[in-house]
Amino acid sequence: MENAAFASGAAMAVSPVQAYPGGTMRVLAVEEDPTCLTALTQMLQRHGYQVTAKASPEEGLRALQDNPEGFDLVMTIVRTQEPWIDGFVLLRHAAQLYPVILFSGVESAETKMRGMLGGACAFLTKPLRDEQVRDVWQHVIARRRLTSGVKAVAHAPSRDVVREDGTARKRGLNDSGEGGSDGRTVKKNKLRGTKAYRV
């Protein structure tokens, strides 16, 4: 029903966060500064996110390890007082499983690049604004699409057919799959046929 609403361009009766399949979006928010953590938590909760707030990347990492299915998104401060575990360490552990948003005070382009190359889906500058926090759900959806898209490509049927004698022909509109000298054809994996993947 919500897809029909999207397709027709109708205004949403509920927010994207509330319409998220399986219930509301769950955010792990990590920030050492209690002032900032309280403000971030309130911003997220007002927009319908379910928030688990942790006061250090160490605690955040423990929360992910204790409940790996319990979150849809991680938001973490980059710089911390602890020298051995900061937001980048948490990013390294979390980025494969969750979309991760980093945030910090004014940082150099190199630091932001490090974050993005490390797998972050966004690098925000503090102080965080309500409108930035409101829209973090987009990263969860983008990640889901990316994940399901990768699976779809891996299992996509090929459009090329290769005869047993190695010659290729394009599949026509009414192609029954027959061809070749003895009528047998072999489907060619499209990915392997491209230059980039040829071995």
Partner 1 sequence: MAAAMQLNTLMSNMFATGLLDDQFQQLQMLQDPSAPDFVAEVVTLFCEDGERIIGELAKLLDKPAVDFDKVDAFVHQLKGSSASVGAQRVKNTCIQFREFCQGKSRDGCLKTLDAVRNDFYDLRSKFQTMLQLEQQVQASFYPKQ
* Interface with partner 1 (CB under 8 A): 32-36, 38-39, 42-43, 45-46, 79, 81, 105, 126-130
Q: Please name the residue ranges forming H helices in 55-189.
A: 57-66, 87-94, 109-117, 130-134, 137-154
Residue of 103, 98, 113, 102 lying closest to 143 (CA atoms): 98
- The b-or-e profile of 18-28 (16+ CB within 10 A means b, else e) is ebbeeebbbbb
Shortest distance (Å) from residue 38 CB to partner 1 = 5
Give the residue from 101, 50, 54 showing the smallest Cα distance to 74. 101
Separation CA 155–CA 171 (nearest Å): 18
Helices and strands, number each (H, E), in the chain: 8, 8
Nearer residue to partner 1 within complex by CB, 124 or 162: 124
CB burial of residue 194 (10 Å; 0-12, 13-18, 19+): exposed
Give least dist CB 51 to partner 1, A. Answer: 12
Query: Least distance to partner 1 from the beta carbon of 171, Å?
Result: 58
**Closest CB to partner 1 among residues 78, 161:** 78
CB of 104 or CB of 185, closer to partner 1:
104
State the minimum distance, in angstroms, from the CB of residue 5 to partner 1.
27
Neighbour-count burial for 99-112, b at 16+ CB within 10 Å, e otherwise: bbbbbbeebeeebb
The nearer residue to partner 1, 64 or 136, going by C-beta atoms, is: 136
Output the smallest distance, CB 83 to partner 1, in A. 9
Entry field: residues in the chain: 199
Q: Which is nearer to partner 1, 40 or 94 (CB)?
A: 40
Six-digit token pair at 131?
A: 């409108």
Residue 42 or 138 with smaller CB distance to partner 1 = 42
Distance in Å, CB of 189 to partner 1, minimum: 51
